[in-house]
Amino acid sequence: MRTVILRRGLVALFAAAVTFGAITQAQAETLRIGYQKYGTLVLLKAKGTLEKRLAAQGVDVQWTEFPGGPQLLEGLNVGSIDFGVTGETPPVFAQAAGADLLYVAYEPPAPHSEAILVPKDSAIKSVQDLKGKKVVLNKGSNVHYLLVRALEDAGLKYTDIQTVFLPPADARAAFERGSVDAWVIWDPYQAAAEQQLQARTLRDGQGIVDNHQFYLATKPYAQKNPEVIKTLVEEVRAVGEWSKANPEDVTKQVSPLLGLPADITLTSVKRQGYGALFLTPEVVAAQQKIADSFYQLKLIPKPLSIKDVIWTPPAAVAKAQ
């Protein structure tokens, strides 16, 4: 009897181990991607080419939408996604908060796809006029650095303005109500405000910021799955090159996904940067400058070393660059 009970117990234990192993394997074979209402990942999701290529590697793809870069990187930090894209500032705040992330690739500069906006009938005519005014933005997003540089370029200090931190939808509501004087925002929200609200561009990123988009992954995922990362970057680059050559086709595809009219979507599409690449020393240095600026302003608690969180692709993957 004891032998029978023992055997049954071992069988049950083995079955549980197999089940646990299957769950763990399933989790390992699912690539969880975070994206926002803009950029190449929206197009990649719509085309479905990544799913087809990764299926051959035994990998499923799961997509999760986030309202902004800081929220996306929080998802990366807590382990709800493996890979995502944000502007240049969110990774700095995430690294400062201890997120275990790596920069994987970047898109070329897109300085016109973020801007400081004011209402069409505002008396504010220049960045200098923002002194003492309320400026709304998503804290830690790409536009946070645009604001810092625009103020600096205008001879103002960051403390010369009143910052109000709200996510895009709430920020637009505050902007429309007139409870803030200016809104610092990115596309497609920027293009929507310009065309639907006739908001005026006080200053965009031209000449003061690159506005790179960065593709990031959790450190464990990138280190364990270099071939998946390689496939991802290849697909992002291919979609980007197609998008650059076919903005009208992109607009037809993406406009319904964004819930925006075609004219607004086309403006956003044309202002994006396309052609994902692995990081260069020059891009790393530019990102280090952002990190240093935020530390000097006491917006992050410690100095950072960007080069320490750059994914170095294996030689076989790097050759595909």
Q: Give the chain's mean pLDDT.
A: 88
CA angle at 257 for the pair 256 and 259, rounded to the nearest 5°: 60
In 3D space, the residue among 315, 235, 229, 307 whose CA is nearest the CA of residue 276 turns out to be 235
Q: What is the CA radius of gyration of the chain?
A: 22
Query: What residues does each domain of the chain span?
Result: 8-108+213-255+279-318, 111-204
- Residue 11 has a pLDDT of 40
What is the mean pLDDT of the segment spanning 231-241? 94
Q: Which position has the higher pLDDT, 222 or 42?
A: 222
- Residue 70 has a pLDDT of 86
Report CA torsion sign: 281, 282, 288, 292.
positive
Q: Do domains 8-108+213-255+279-318 and 111-204 have the same CATH topology?
A: yes
Flag whether pLDDT at 22 surpasses 80: no
Flag whether pLDDT at 316 surpasses 90: no
Residue pair 39/272 in contact by the 8 Å Cβ criterion: yes
What is the mean pLDDT of the segment spanning 245-268? 91
Per-residue pLDDT tens for 290-303?
Answer: 999 999 999 999 99
Please give the distance of CA 88 from its chain centroid, rounded to a whole number: 8
Percentage of the chain surpassing pLDDT 90?
Answer: 78
- Residue 134 has a pLDDT of 98
Flag whether pLDDT at 312 surpasses 80: yes
Residues 6+ apart with CB under 8 A from 53: 231, 235
CATH 3.40.50.300 at 8-108+213-255+279-318, yes or no? no
Residue recorded with tokens 């990764």: 54
Beta strands 83-87 and 213-218, pairing class: antiparallel
- CA-CA distance, 280 to 301, in Å (whole number)? 26
Flag whether pLDDT at 14 surpasses 80: no
111-204 fold: D-Maltodextrin-Binding Protein; domain 2 (3.40.190)
Report CA torsion sign: 170, 198, 182, 65.
positive
Per-residue pLDDT tens for 151-203?
Answer: 999 999 999 999 999 999 999 999 999 999 999 999 999 999 999 999 999 99
Percentage of the chain surpassing pLDDT 70?
Answer: 89
What is the pLDDT confidence band of residue 313, given thresholds at 50, 70 and 90?
confident
What is the pLDDT confidence band of residue 21, given thresholds at 50, 70 and 90?
very low
Using the 8-state DSSP alphabet, how is residue 300 labeled?
S
What is the mean pLDDT of the segment spanning 1-22? 39
Per-residue pLDDT tens for 41-85?
Answer: 988 998 899 999 999 999 999 999 998 888 899 999 999 999 999
The CA-atom distances, in angstroms, between 297 and each of 57, 85, 133 are: 46, 25, 19
Q: Torsions phi, psi of 80, nearest 5?
A: -85, -15
Please give the distance of CA 315 from its chain centroid, rounded to a whole number: 26
Q: Which position has the higher pLDDT, 151 or 2?
A: 151
What is the mean pLDDT of the segment spanning 215-244? 94
Residues 6+ apart with CB under 8 A from 24: none
- CA-CA distance, 20 to 82, in Å (whole number)? 21
Q: Which helix (H) or strand (E) holds 32?
A: strand 30-35
- Residue 46 has a pLDDT of 85
- Residue 161 has a pLDDT of 98
